[in-house]
Every structure is written in C-alpha cells, then in structure tokens.
Amino acid sequence: MMTRSILIAFVAMAMATPAYADEKSVELKKAPGLDKVEGNCAACHSLDYIQMNSPAPTATFWDAEVTKMIKVFGAPVDDGDAKAITEYLSKNY
C-alpha cells in the first residue's frame, strides 16, 4: 500500500517538473532594496506581479500595495523592510 502511494507521488512530481522548468525567473532591476523585495515579496507570490503592475504607478500606489499586503493579506514584513520595499518599488517601477 505504501509503495503504491510513493509511486503515485513520484509520478505526480515527475509530471509537474516540466511545467516548473518552463517558468522563467523574473529579473528585477538591481538597486538598493532589491534584497528586501526578493526576501519578502517572493515568499508569497511571483515577482512578475511587480512588472505587471508597473506601467505608471506612483509612490502612493506602491505604498498602498505594500500596506495592503501587510494589513489585508498578513504578510510578515517588518516596518523597516516595508519602507525599503516601498522605496525600491517607487524608484524603479
């Protein structure tokens, strides 16, 4: 019984691997605060959301987004990191 479960898990994992391999990693602009974005934001969602939302957002937009992630979605981001993330996004996107 356990062998069958392991086999099913292995087959499922093998089938999912090609889909994962085709995903492109997102390259964000190298600038101060990037480490905070990668360390905090990528823990919950893909970083391509930053590029998808960035045609012309303002600093107010990014501040509201970071605040929403923390207060509404419960992102465990401390105040210092939140400030660095907002500054990074405002200056680069």
User: Does 6 map to a domain?
Assistant: no
Q: What is the CA radius of gyration of the chain?
A: 18
- What is the pLDDT, as a whole number, of residue 17? 45
Distances (CA, A) of 61 to 12, 55, 64, 66, 86: 40, 12, 5, 9, 9
The domain total for the chain is 1
Residue labelled with tokens 């105040």: 79
* Residues spanned by the domain of 67: 27-92
Mean pLDDT by 10 residues, the chain (93 residues): 54 49 73 96 90 81 95 96 96 91
Q: Token pair of 70, please?
A: 């923390």
- What is the pLDDT, as a whole number, of residue 51? 83
Record the pTM. Answer: 0.70
User: Does 4 map to a domain?
Assistant: no
- What is the pLDDT, as a whole number, of residue 52? 83
User: Does 63 map to a domain?
Assistant: yes
CATH of the domain at 32: 1.10.760.10
- What is the pLDDT, as a whole number, of residue 80? 96
